[in-house]
Structures are given as structure tokens and as C-alpha cells.
Amino acid sequence: MHLIVAAEQWVPWLRITQDNDGTLNYSGIMFNILTVLSHALNFTYELRRPPDGLWGVGFPNGTWVGQLGMVKRGEVDFALGPFAFNWERYHYACEFTQPIFVDYASVFMQRPRVQTDLMAFIRPFQWQVSGV
């Protein structure tokens, strides 16, 4: 069986490099998983990049772009991630496999302190008035 697979670069998950002759080379975690799956399940594959270079966004009219658009339109059999799992994608675009990796990245900052400032309501204004 021969499958068509959508893929777009997202290092370290998938790296795409190009030789001087135009040949594309793939490496990374998702490419390694694809290679193992193809051997274990006995299929060959062809990788295709989305023309718009996007992962996948849906629009109110029901159309999708990016790799998920390719999946939804039947242009490819599946797409290599990493894809963020969200309600819109799950209900309208595709089916997801079990997660390979879950990232709980966060940004931290100091919690602001509550300050009593009786003049706070006038702080946004300046005393000077500029002429036109």
C-alpha cells in the first residue's frame, strides 16, 4: 500500500532540508516514527508539504487550510504533527491518534501586588494640553 502524507517543518519534530539538486531530506522525531510505522505496517509513503505552509485552520464557511485542509479534502491520507488538539479540529477536521508527547509549557511572572492609590483614576492623564 502507498500512502500520501502531509508534512511541514517544525524542528525538532520534523526537519526538512534541501540538497543543491532540489531533493528534500527529512529527519526528526516524527519522520523516525513514520519510518518505523511504514516498516511495521508494510506501506510506502510520499511526503507532501502544504502549499500554504500552514498546520491547519478552519474558517466559518467550513473550509480548512494547511495540512489539516489536505487531510479534510482527501489530498493526503494523514499528516505528521505535532498538532495541538482542540475542539474545532477534533469535531470538524480530523481524527487524532493517541498523543506521543504532551507539552504543558507555561510562562511565569511575579504576581502583581495590590496597592492602594487614591489618585489612580487620574494617572492615565497628563497635565499638559498639546495644541493642534
Q: At 79, is the pLDDT very low, low, confident or very high (cuts 50, 70, 90)?
A: very high
**CATH number reported for the structural domain that contains residue 40 in this entry:** 3.40.190.10
Q: Is residue 107 part of a domain?
A: no
CA–CA separation, 71 and 64 (whole Å): 9
Residue 127 pLDDT more than 70?
Answer: no
Q: What is the pLDDT of residue 128?
A: 64
Contacts of residue 74, Cβ cutoff 8 Å, sequence gap at least 6: none
In-domain check, residue 110: no
Number of domains in the chain: 1
Dist CA 122 CA 50 (whole Å): 52
pTM of the model: 0.69
Is the predicted pLDDT of residue 126 greater than 70, yes or no?
no
Q: Is residue 37 a part of any domain in this protein?
A: yes
Residue 1 vs residue 103, higher pLDDT: 1
Residue at 121 is within a domain? no
Inside any domain, residue 119: no
Tell me if 67 is assigned to some domain.
Answer: yes
- Domain residues for 15? 2-92
Indicate whether 35 pLDDT > 80.
yes
pLDDT of 108: 73
